[in-house]
Structure 1
């Protein structure tokens, strides 16, 4: 069994306690999740364009701030699904922001992304992975890595 670092365990316990004890002055976690889902469906589905992606990014950034004060209804410390939902919300917001930032970056249509404002595929410039990292801060950093072509050559998807 792996050993658990006592300092990390204490930090995690404090984080969960802080979520449970938040005053009900912000928004409910479920409200933020609902707005996040609606925003991603509206602006970051298969058909995308710059204006909508920028709007989605603004909403995600705002929701990340609101999540810091989002409260849960269940104040219990055993099998608390509300706390689990609050923890998941943070990960959902991070993933959503990574998706939006990468979608804004890719100025072409490829795979499951159809950019209405960039309808053509551009292998010369964009046959590469977009890598998103946070590097210890709250700002997504964009980098690239090469695509390794294996058995199948990529081909244009037609909608």
Structure 2
């Protein structure tokens, strides 16, 4: 039996990492943090605009649950970038509510309006001080859970 030949393969990535001129992860994180903080004000404006759209949809009650879902996901997309956890949780509850309503072919504008009012309340507070609204978000989930899919029954034997 012959001896095996071993070949050391150098990956392209390892070659790139070894080249001078890169940056450490710490430097990259600092740069990203700096760039993100520069956009935080605009992101708050975008969330505010989305909440105004949700409020208008509730007022007119013509957009349907698809439109509400789309705007609520936009809130999550932007607020999530800046770790506004409570606001995201409230918007996620609204997304889940509208999804359940859509799949059950129902509409409940009062439940949507409760979510929108809670979102506006949370949005109006400094994002670093929103932990106090956890019970509000828990209440929103109770409203959403009213539309839980019925459990499938086991087939009769």
> Shorter chain as normaliser: what TM range?
0.3 to 0.5
In terms of fraction of residues, the more helix-rich structure is: 2
**TM-score for both structures, normalised by structure 2:** 0.38
In terms of fraction of residues, the more strand-rich structure is: 1
Higher-Rg structure is: 2
